[in-house]
C-alpha cells in the first residue's frame, strides 16, 4: 500500500501505566516513601500494528479496559506511547473529550473560538462557520451567556458542533454519538453519515455494536491489549458476541443449565416467498415466518417455544411464543409463526429460539440467527414506526 493511501499507520505500539500499590496520603508518608518503588507496570497495549486506509471507517470493540480508548488517545496525540510509532496523514478532529478547553466564565461564542483554536482552526475559518456552528448547536438564544450557566446537554451540544465543523479528513470518536436530546441525536447520526459519504476516515470506539455495524465496514476487536480479530464488521461482531456469551455462561451460570428433555431440530426464518432471510439484508416492515421443529426426548409433558428478538449487543426488544403444547416422549412437532411486520430501524438484529417447560426452566441450548434491516428512512431508536401527521 502506497503512503498517500494511508490515513493512520501504527507500528509495534505499546503503552504502559504505573499502578501504585500504596499511595501516600500525608507529607510524612510521602517523605518516608520517597525511594519506594511500590508500583507495578500495567501494559494496556502490546505491540499493536494497524493500518487504516484513507476513507475507511473502522470500529474498535472489546470489553472495558481492553485498550480501545487508550489507542484512540494515542492516535489523537493526547498521550504518548512507551514504544512504537504512530503516523497520521490528514487533518484530525477528535470527538473524545468534548469541551476540553472550555472556560466556564467565557460565553458560548467566546468558547467557540477557544475550542476551535485548540483543534487548529484559524480565526477567519471560525468567522466563516460561526453561524453554522451556533445553528447546529441549537443554543443561539444563550450563545452570549457564560457556559457555567449551561446545562450539561447544552454544553455537549456546543462542543460537538464545534468539533464537526473542523472539516476533518480523519475523525476519531469515543462513545459520544448520543449527545443531547432525540432530535439532536438524529442530527449527529446524519452528520456522521455525511462524513462517511464524503470518504472521511472514521475510527469509532463504542459498546453500541449496532452503531459499529451500521457505520463501520471494518471492525477491530481488542482483547487484553492485543488485536484478537480484524475484519468485516458483521463477522468480527458475531465472533465477539459469541466469545462474550460463552465467557458469561462459564463465569455466571452452573454447568447444568438445561434439562435436555426437549431439543430444537431445526430453526428457519423465511419471507413471504418462502426464501430464507437468515444472515441476509431485508427491508423494514416486511412480514417474516419463523419455523421451529422440536422433539420431546424424555417423558410426556408440556413445552413452550419462544422467539426472542434482540439488538446486535443482545438487548431484548420483543418476545413471541407458541403457548404450551402437550408432547409425548419422542414426538416431534413443527411450529409455524407469522410475524406480520418487523418495524425495526436500520441495523443488525439477533433472533433466538428457546424451549421452556411450565416452571420456566429452559430445555435445551438456544438456536441463534441474525438478520440485517434496511429502513427506507432512518430514525433514532430501534423501531421505525409507520405513521402519518396531519394538521
pLDDT digit of tens for each residue in the chain (391 aa)?
666 789 999 999 999 988 776 666 677 766 666 555 567 888 899 999 999 999 999 999 998 888 998 999 999 888 899 999 999 998 888 877 766 678 889 999 999 998 888 878 889 999 999 999 999 988 999 999 999 999 888 888 898 888 888 888 999 988 766 566 667 777 787 888 888 889 999 999 988 787 787 788 899 999 989 999 999 888 888 888 878 766 544 444 444 467 788 888 888 999 999 988 887 888 888 999 999 999 998 888 888 999 999 887 778 888 999 999 999 988 999 999 999 988 888 777 889 998 988 877 888 877 777 787 877 665 666 777 766 667 7
The pLDDT, as a whole number, for residue 108 is: 93
What are the helix (H) ranges across 64-198? 68-76, 108-118, 123-137, 152-164, 182-197
Q: Rounded distance, CA 306 to CA 292, Å? A: 10
The pLDDT, as a whole number, for residue 34 is: 57
Q: What is the DSSP string of 266-277?
A: EEEEE-TTS-B-
The pLDDT, as a whole number, for residue 179 is: 62
Per-residue DSSP letter, 40: E
Per-residue DSSP letter, 199: T
pTM of the model: 0.62
Residue 9 grid coordinates = 499507520
Per-residue DSSP letter, 144: T
Bridge partners, 281 (sequence order): 372
Q: In Å, what is the CA distance from 135 to each residue of 109, 203, 321, 343?
A: 12, 26, 48, 32
The pLDDT, as a whole number, for residue 251 is: 43
Q: Top-level CATH class of 262-374?
A: mainly beta
The pLDDT, as a whole number, for residue 134 is: 94
Pairing of strands 367-374, 347-356: antiparallel
Q: What are the start and end residues of each CATH 2.70.50.60 domain in the chain? A: 262-374
The fold for domain 3-243 equals Rossmann fold (3.40.50)
- The angle at the Cα of 313, spanning 311 to 352, to the nearest 5 degrees, equals 55
Residues 6+ apart with CB under 8 A from 375: 283, 284, 344, 345, 346, 384
The pLDDT, as a whole number, for residue 183 is: 74
Q: What is the CA radius of gyration of the chain?
A: 26
Q: Rounded distance, CA 281 to CA 371, Å? A: 6
The pLDDT, as a whole number, for residue 135 is: 93
Q: What are the start and end residues of each CATH 3.40.50.300 domain in the chain? A: 3-243
Contact yes or no for 308/354 (Cβ under 8 A): yes
Amino acid at each position: 500500500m502506497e503512503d498517500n493511501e494511508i490515513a493512520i499507520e501504527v507500528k509495534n505500539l505499546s503503552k504502559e501505566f504505573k499502578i501504585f500499590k500504596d499511595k501516600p496520603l500525608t507529607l510524612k508518608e510521602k517523605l518516608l516513601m520517597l525511594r519506594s518503588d511500590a508500583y507495578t507496570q500495567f501494559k494496556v497495549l502490546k505491540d499493536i500494528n494497524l493500518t487504516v486506509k484513507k476513507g475507511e471507517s473502522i470500529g474498535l470493540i472489546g470489553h472495558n479496559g481492553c485498550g480501545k480508548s487508550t489507542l484512540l488517545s494515542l492516535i489523537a496525540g493526547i498521550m504518548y506511547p512507551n514504544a512504537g510509532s504512530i503516523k497520521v496523514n490528514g487533518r484530525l478532529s477528535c470527538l473524545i473529550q468534548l469541551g476540553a478547553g472550555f472556560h466556564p466564565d467565557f460565553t458560548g461564542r467566546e468558547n467557540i473560538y477557544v475550542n476551535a483554536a485548540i483543534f487548529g482552526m484559524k480565526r477567519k475559518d471560525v468567522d466563516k462557520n460561526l453561524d453554522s456552528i451556533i445553528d447546529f448547536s441549537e443554543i443561539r438564544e444563550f450563545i452570549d451567556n457564560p457556559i457555567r450557566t449551561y446545562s450539561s446537554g447544552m454544553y455537549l451540544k456546543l462542543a460537538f458542533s464545534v468539533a464537526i465543523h473542523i472539516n476533518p479528513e480523519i475523525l476519531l470518536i469515543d462513545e459520544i454519538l448520543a449527545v443531547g436530546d432525540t432530535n439532536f441525536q438524529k442530527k449527529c447520526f446524519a452528520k456522521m453519515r455525511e462524513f462517511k459519504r464524503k470518504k472521511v476516515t472514521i475510527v469509532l470506539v463504542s459498546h453500541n455494536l449496532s452503531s459499529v455495524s451500521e457505520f463501520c465496514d471494518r471492525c477491530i476487536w481488542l482483547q487484553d491489549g492485543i488485536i484478537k480479530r480484524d475484519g468485516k464488521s458483521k463477522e468480527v461482531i458475531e465472533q465477539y458476541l459469541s466469545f462474550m456469551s460463552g465467557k458469561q455462561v462459564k463465569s455466571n451460570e452452573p454447568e447444568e443449565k438445561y434439562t435436555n428433555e426437549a431439543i430444537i431440530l431445526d430453526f428457519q426464518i423465511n419471507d413471504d416467498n418462502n426464501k430464507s432471510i437468515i444472515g441476509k439484508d431485508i427491508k423494514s416492515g416486511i412480514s417474516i415466518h419463523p419455523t421451529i421443529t422440536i422433539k420431546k426426548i424424555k417423558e410426556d409433558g408440556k413445552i413452550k417455544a419462544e422467539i426472542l428478538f434482540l439488538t446486535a449487543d443482545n438487548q431484548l426488544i420483543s418476545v413471541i411464543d407458541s403457548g404450551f403444547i402437550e408432547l409425548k416422549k419422542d414426538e416431534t412437532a413443527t411450529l409455524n409463526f407469522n410475524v406480520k411486520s418487523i418495524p425495526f430501524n436500520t441495523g443488525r438484529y439477533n433472533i433466538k429460539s428457546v424451549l421452556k417447560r411450565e416452571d420456566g426452566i429452559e430445555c435445551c441450548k438456544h438456536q441463534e440467527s441474525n438478520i440485517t434491516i434496511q429502513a427506507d428512512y432512518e430514525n433514532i431508536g430501534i423501531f421505525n414506526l409507520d405513521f402519518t401527521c396531519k394538521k
